A and B are shown apart, each in its own frame.
Chain A
């Protein structure tokens, strides 16, 4: 059955996202897609559906939504306060959103990017073969009050599943491989780069995030200029003042700033989720190790469905709490209610 989800209110950075639109680099369009790809896989596992379906991405702040018919939903990524008809619901879990009920999603408690998945996925119009907004390229728009989003046919029935998320919302260490221009930097600079405690700068967005530190900027050997070259997500370019800048999903496709390395794709969710001010460290690993990590992570994501567990033991996460025979006052005493 298909249906609609209406946006009653949206935070400042709410868009439709998916796995992005690969294949347009030749024409200057980067792949884009969800900033946290792992969250896509987690939501797909919770709803028992494919990871290619479109979702709602919410930067720092959610919104308010209402379905015109019963709809399965899942909430993943940066944990945000969420409630259905005033009753708190668990993050990293799937729920039933009954027809007409209001889903309210608040501010991120940690991390940056939260996700709202629906059974059957969102079926908004495709542009260049994908539904994801790529605002830097002028594709799609921010979601706003009054938008009505079509949802696809949903063959699943199960809700009330949870998934323990990989903790990636408070910064940490990301692994990096040498890339095409790493050799432009002297070994001493690479070592200093690894030893530096960085803070995720406040100016970050879906295109990239600056890495601030107290020490001096990083410099390539001599005053070498490099010819403009292809950029991939995770590339760490070093701008004129020596600040490393990690490029994310909506990166420009080519750039002339030298790049000190590339964040391994399976560590990009941690980097993208780090909120402004979060501490980050970089560690170089050999390419062979990164390849093994990627292969293992692809397999792990495919097996996420088997990691889902029923939520029944935790009344806080029961979206249909009101239908149970409970002593009045239990809900009023729930501190997590919005």
Chain B
């Protein structure tokens, strides 16, 4: 394996339950660890090993679930180790077939009432906060917790603000919320500690649609400011006005 600099974390292989293994590229979220996880997951899908039933990513890890009758832990660990050693995954290209989504969002107003609080936590005026959040091109770092729900990052350092300790009782579907240099776009109404700074009309999960999930891990997203009236008009569109272009 190539020489690893002191600053780069070393990938770690751990077991998950009885029939899973996890390859983690860091113990906390970082841009390189997320890129490595996405690239390694894509490589695993490409390898398509016998006995592997499912692969997925979380923020900094790739997960493998396997059939105990066709593969054992020692063999899988050896295969994962060999694949890890093939290259520097922290420097790997992002997987192909990624798209750039532009999603209309209302920042602030009664539709997204915590914009002032979030701006203050980041030390900005509301106008600066809207400019910063809508200028950022963030990547789907992972999809999880609820169907189709993306964790988007990484925002500029100034957005390294904590989640609230007091939970918001109910954040609506399509809400755009900010904390810890990330945005979460909520696919279901739920209680949360993230701050509700924007509101979209996008539906991230449509179980009966030909493509049930709007976003894929690795996609990039930029939020375009619109007025509440404009957003109301977009609610008739299941995509809520979201438009995609292919990234090469």
Contact = CB atoms under 8 A, between A and B. Distances in A.
Interface residues of B, number: 46
A232 interface: yes
A298 B55 CA distance: 22
A157 B177 CA distance: 57
Contacts of A164: none
B159 interface: no
A180 B18 contact: no
A230 B65 CA distance: 11
B236 interface: no
Interface string B148-162: 110100000000000
Given A27-B143, A28-B143, A294 B19 contact: yes
A229 B19 contact: no
Given A227-B29, A229-B22, A25 B56 contact: yes
Contacts of A252: 144-146
A77 to B, nearest CB: 23
Nearest to B61: A229
A264 B68 CA distance: 13
Interface stretch (B83-91, B100-108, B204-212, B227-235): B204-212
Interface string B168-199: 00000000000000000001100000000000
Nearest to B21: A180
B189 to A, nearest CB: 10
Q: Most chain-A Cβ atoms within 10 A of its Cβ — which of B22, B28, B59, B146? A: B146
A249 to B, nearest CB: 14
Given A227-B60, A230-B22, A230-B56, A28 B187 contact: yes
A23 interface: yes
Contacts of B20: 230, 232
B211 to A, nearest CB: 11
Interface string A231-249: 0111100000000000000
A179 interface: yes
Interface residues of A, number: 38
Interface string A273-290: 000000000000001001
A321 interface: no
Contacts of B41: 26
B213 interface: yes
A26 B217 CA distance: 8
B58 A254 contact: yes
Given A22-B54, A28-B148, A252-B145, A235 B17 contact: yes
A253 B16 CA distance: 13
A127 interface: yes
Contacts of B69: 295, 298
Interface in B10-61: 14-20, 22, 24, 26-29, 41, 53-61
A230 B147 contact: no
A27 B59 contact: no
B223 interface: no
B72 interface: yes
Given A28-B146, A254-B142, A291 B22 contact: no
A227 B146 contact: no
B207 A128 contact: yes
A278 B18 CA distance: 25
A29 interface: yes
Contacts of B72: 291
Given A27-B213, A138-B207, A291-B73, A180 B14 contact: yes
Nearest to B53: A22
Given A25-B54, A127-B207, A128-B207, A177 B143 contact: no
Given A23-B54, A291-B73, A138 B188 contact: yes
A228 B17 contact: no
A271 to B, nearest CB: 14
A291 B61 contact: no
Contacts of A177: 15, 17-18
Contacts of A137: 146-147, 205, 207
24 contacts: A22-B65, A23-B53, A27-B143, A27-B205, A28-B145, A28-B148, A28-B187, A127-B208, A138-B207, A179-B15, A228-B58, A228-B142, A230-B16, A230-B20, A232-B65, A235-B17, A252-B144, A252-B146, A254-B144, A262-B17, A264-B18, A291-B68, A291-B73, A295-B69
Q: Which 4 A-B pairs have the closest CB atoms?
A: A254-B144, A262-B17, A25-B56, A26-B56
Interface of B: 14-20, 22, 24, 26-29, 41, 53-61, 63, 65, 68-69, 72-73, 142-149, 151, 187-188, 205, 207-208, 212-213, 217
